[in-house]
Amino acid sequence: MSQSVSDGGVLEMARRQLDQAADRLGLDEGARKVLKQPQRVLMVSFPIKMDDGRMEVFTGYRVQHNFARGPSKGGLRYHPLVTLDEVTALSMWMTWKCAVVDIPFGGAKGGVVCNPKELSVGELERLTRRFTSEIGIIIGPEKDIPAPDVYTNPQVMAWIMDTFSMNKGYSIPAVVTGKPIEMGGSHGRLEATGRGCVYTIQDAAARLGMELKGARAVVQGFGNVGQAAAKALAELGVKIIALADSNGGIFAIDGLDLAAVLAHKDQTGSVTGMPGTESMSSSEILELECEILVPSALENQIRGDNAGRIRAKLIAEGANGPTTPEADEILLKKGVTVIPDILANAGGVIVSYFEWVQGIQHFFWTEEEVNAQLRRRMTASFDVVYSTKEREGCDMRTAAYLVALKRVSEAMQLRGLYP
Ligand code: NAP
């Protein structure tokens, strides 16, 4: 199973990123104190009847970081290494992400400590339904709206919507986003994060004078985000030379045939062992010579100890938190452009916002409308961040934080302190 950050490192990292931007912005101490803590944390332990008749107890979390700009929004992760610190850091990043792309949400995140690959469909459904009932007291279309994240998918969202609706007595599609289209999901949501990430790569390439046709890309993580990003890059003529999933990586100097890799993964469960490719570890592919690197798996992949060996010119963070602050410093000195997670992977939450709006209005958009609006918002957000970077003479992460932090702190100030 994959490496995650199972200690407090990732929360410390999120707070350090906040401090750096807060220093630059001259944010007052009070606001800083508020933003370092989540507003609300719910931890639940709940029993599930397993298929063999045993009872198992699972632990789950829902963390709501900040509501200053609206109801909170963020994914739900099923992974054996989920911790409260990890979910809290992810909820903070959601606050900045929603602010940087200017959608009216605060940040939240949830997780259940489990290995979904070892659960049957029935066990997964029971776990999801019971967890939904447990957190049902703090979620809802006007309160907090979950969405898919690592190892959760549209089916899990459908169970959440159904359970929440059953408990209330009527259908409430807008309680969750990333649902199947057949029951109130939005066209374009499945691919939105990867597609949005590639829009930011296009915008960055235009500024850097980088030709995308024929450029080489490496994508770590071949799930929802990694697959959609790889496909969108390939459509632009980018050569995908390496991919990795939780079992390891594959490399082909002349480029991979994505359809064949997908078929191989469908058949075997992994990209590894793909005929005609060289095997590599998931961390080795990060160090390959390429123009574009898209980490799309988990946190803490590019660190102080390997950042010096990164040879990509442009990194677009499909994943949340793949680069540590130590690595950021090294990459900046090396002249590597990093499009930060809170901007690069915001396409998912943008289309989740569109799905929420459609659900509330019971009026649905075409895929063309969704994609056009996504493109417009991604590019507008990229432009604001890029011009802030130029003006401030900083890297793009700091610039994105400056934009986000200013919006969140202004909303907090205008609302004032209650009581
Ligand atoms: P996903 O569909 O569950 O896919 C996760 C992928 O990462 C899988 O291919 C998995 O491998 C792979 N993986 C896990 N550990 C790995 C490792 N150590 N090395 C290489 N690959 C590894 O999850 P996702 O939704 O794509 O999320 C990926 C990242 O994007 C997360 O950081 C998430 O927070 C972020 N994100 C997601 C969304 C969204 O809309 N889904 C939005 C914004 C950000 P296997 O296939 O072998 O399991």
> Does 70 score more than 60 pLDDT?
yes
Position 7 scores a pLDDT of 42
> Does 369 score more than 90 pLDDT?
yes
Position 3 scores a pLDDT of 36
For atom 14 of ligand 1, the residue with the nearest CA is 246
Q: Does domain 192-344 have CATH number 3.40.50.970?
A: no
182 secondary structure, DSSP code = G
Class of domain 38-173: alpha beta
Percent of the chain with pLDDT over 90: 98
For atom 46 of ligand 1, the residue with the nearest CA is 245
- As given in the structure block, the two tokens for residue 316 are 């677009």
Question: Could you state, in order of their start, the residue ranges of all structural domains in the chain?
Answer: 38-173, 192-344
Q: Is 272 in the pocket of ligand 1 (CB under 6 A)?
A: no
- Site to probe by mutation for ligand 1, drawn from 224, 267, 288 as the one with most ligand atoms within 8 Å of Cβ, is 224
Q: How far is the CA of 310 from the centre of ligand 1 (A)?
A: 21
Q: Is 222 in the pocket of ligand 1 (CB under 6 A)?
A: yes
Q: What is the pTM of this model?
A: 0.97
Contacts of 377 (CB under 8 A, 6+ apart): 101, 102, 103, 350
Q: Among 395, 409, 406, 237, which Cα is nearest to 317's?
A: 395
Q: Is 224 in the pocket of ligand 1 (CB under 6 A)?
A: yes
Q: Among 304, 192, 188, 319, which Cα is nearest to 245's?
A: 319
- What mean pLDDT do residues 239-248 have? 98
> Does 4 score more than 60 pLDDT?
no
Q: Is 249 in the pocket of ligand 1 (CB under 6 A)?
A: no
Q: Is 296 in the pocket of ligand 1 (CB under 6 A)?
A: yes
- What mean pLDDT do residues 197-207 have? 98
Q: Which residues are catalytic?
A: 109
Q: Is 149 in the pocket of ligand 1 (CB under 6 A)?
A: yes
Cβ(12)–Cβ(26) below 8 Å: no
For atom 28 of ligand 1, the residue with the nearest CA is 297
β-strand 239-245 against 248-251: which pairing, if any?
antiparallel
Domains 38-173 and 192-344 fall in the same CATH topology:
yes
Q: How far is the CA of 175 from the centre of ligand 1 (A)?
A: 23
How far is Cα 112 from Cα 80, in angstroms, rounded to an integer?
Answer: 8
